[in-house]
Structure 1
């Protein structure tokens, strides 16, 4: 029984990052570029629905998938929800503030990003990487990955119906912070 509880504790992995980089602040002032097979725009409510081969670009942010929904709040912040298909999963990529070539890159069945809180959620066979000069620094895999860019926090959780025999369902490879921040 102790082995199961230790494994379950690992699955709710929360890792605090000591890096000084945050999401690219200039992204907020960039226009949104939307591409899809079908785009429905409600300019009054600031709601956009996209169907088929979705591509959203806003500054350094690139989101892809099969279907998407974007809502813009009164302050101009986007809430993005994009789903993929088994053949074309949803993806997210954003340059980080600070180091010139540092990116967060993730994939999953669903990508949700709140630009106001800088909170990213990847669901369904999800993976998230932090890259510097195209070299992987951190990599997470799991059913659901949450990443809070403001607090520099990762959280990986299993599906609700996970059984002890299914473990481990979460995995993290993390580079040492001292080395990663000294190689500027």
Structure 2
């Protein structure tokens, strides 16, 4: 019997042979710095709630949104959930390790898990890869999970709860995912040097010797 949810859920696991998503591995061990208009801290639960033009930095990671809830477990792992203002999207950016490449993403909600080293983009989710300032790859869906540890992206076409669907820029229809993958540039082929012409005797030189 066909699963009735299959028309809503399109699960696409991209092993991304075109590129390996190795983010800065040291970011997970860097301190988390946050700026906001207001902060409410619960010392018992180890939960901090930032509101108003929130800006989070952690190594090369940059996250922006309207509301951020941060918590820390007894092992010291940090977790953050960023929510955008109504009608807007929260923003994420991280540099790739050892390369002039950057990962950028947006969503109505961004969920960062320091223990699993994953980032979830929920609702109108978008993910892009830039080489320098040039856009190379782009993904759109209802849910995108970016796993730094396994170098795997998971895209789900289902609209998130209370979301208007998985429309993005340029966006994917509700219940679908959309991806744009740019092929790797081919390595430059060095020209093969021409073989030297063989030496030939000159009739004029032979006549001059006589």
Cα-Cα RMSD: 2.9
The count of residues paired between Structure 1 and Structure 2 equals 172
The worse-fitting range, judged by mean Cα deviation, of 67-76 and 123-132 is 67-76
User: What secondary structure is seen at the aligned counterpart in 1 of 2:76?
Assistant: coil
Distance in 2 (alpha carbons) for counterparts of 1:140 and 1:20? 15
Cα separation, partners in 2 of 1:98 and 1:75, compared to 1, 3 Å: farther
The worse-fitting range, judged by mean Cα deviation, of 149-158 and 139-148 is 149-158
Identify which of structures 1 and 2 has the higher relative contact order when contacts are C-alpha pairs closer than 8 Å and 6+ apart.
1
User: What secondary structure is seen at the aligned counterpart in 2 of 1:26?
Assistant: helix
The worse-fitting range, judged by mean Cα deviation, of 114-123 and 103-112 is 114-123
Q: Structure 1, residues 43-78: CA drift from partner, whole Å, max 9, x if none?
A: 564321111111111111111111111112233321
CA contact (8 A) 1:91 1:105 kept: yes
4+ residue segments displaced more than 4 Å: 7-10
Q: Which is richer in strand?
A: 1
Q: Structure 1, residues 126-157: CA drift from partner, whole Å, max 9, x if none?
A: 10012121222211011111111222212221
Shift of 1:42: 3.5
In the alignment, structure 2 segments of 5+ residues that lack a partner are 166-172, 189-210
Q: TM-score, length-normalised on structure 1?
A: 0.79
Q: TM-score, length-normalised on structure 2?
A: 0.71
Residue 110 of structure 2 is aligned to residue 104 of structure 1: no
Equivalent residue number for residue 202 of structure 2: none
The correspondence of residues 51-130 of structure 1 with structure 2, limited to 5 A, is 51-99=51-99, 101-130=100-129
Equivalent residue number for residue 180 of structure 2: 173
In the alignment, structure 1 segments of 5+ residues that lack a partner are none
